[in-house]
């Protein structure tokens, strides 16, 4: 047997689902003619969800290099969609929050995300979705406990409740 894991192993399924979901979302954003790149939208979504988090925490949460996130944030800040403020507990760190103007942009993006959600959940019963969500939250929690950024997890505590 040359396979490390069976074809439908959880890791491969999660990776494929993530890739396909991202591609569908990027296509949808491109088709909508929004003036933001998919990366900028992802950054804005994370800022809106975890507003008040440090820039380094957001980069880790997004799985991108801090310099990559910084470039996204520069462009979002230039459009008055986010603000960077000095962290009151550490002057070297920046805390990122979204602006009122960002809410308008998010309102334009929400229908695209909802349409994709309807497509990807087609044929799945509400009870199945709830069970799957609960299991995925548990998996995410298990992984977060053992991840290098587990020490920063306290900055993201609302994620389990709001996911």
Query: What does 40-61 look like in DSSP terms, one character per residue?
Result: HHHHHHHHHHTTTEEHHHHHHH
Secondary structure E strands in 2-114:
53-54, 82-87, 90-98
- The answer, yes or no, to whether residue 83 has pLDDT greater than 70, is yes
What residue numbers bound the domain in which 45 lies?
10-122
Residue 81: CATH number of its domain: 1.10.10.10
Instruction: Report yes or no on 19 lying in a domain.
Output: yes
Instruction: Name which residue leads in pLDDT, 58 or 152.
Output: 58
pLDDT tens-digit map of 56-71? 899 988 989 999 999 9
pLDDT score of 32: 86
Instruction: Report yes or no on 129 lying in a domain.
Output: no
Domain count for the chain, please give it.
1
Global pTM reads 0.74
pLDDT tens-digit map of 7-59? 668 888 888 998 999 899 888 888 888 889 889 999 999 999 987 899 989 99
């Amino acid at each position: 047997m040359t396979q490390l894991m069976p074809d439908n192993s959880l890791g491969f399924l999660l990776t494929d689902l993530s890739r396909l979901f991202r591609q569908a979302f990027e296509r949808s954003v491109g088709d909508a003619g929004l003036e933001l790149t998919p990366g900028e939208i992802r950054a804005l979504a994370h800022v809106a969800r975890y507003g008040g988090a440090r820039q380094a925490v957001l980069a880790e949460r997004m799985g991108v290099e801090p310099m990559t996130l910084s470039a996204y944030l520069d462009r979002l800040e230039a459009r008055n969609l986010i603000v960077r403020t000095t962290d009151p507990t550490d002057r070297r760190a920046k805390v990122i929050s979204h602006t009122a103007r960002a809410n308008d942009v998010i309102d334009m993006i929400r229908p695209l995300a909802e349409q994709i959600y309807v497509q990807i959940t087609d044929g799945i019963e509400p009870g199945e979705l709830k069970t799957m969500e609960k299991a995925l939250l548990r998996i995410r929690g298990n992984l977060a406990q053992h991840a290098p950024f587990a020490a920063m997890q306290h900055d993201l505590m609302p994620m389990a409740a709001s996911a």
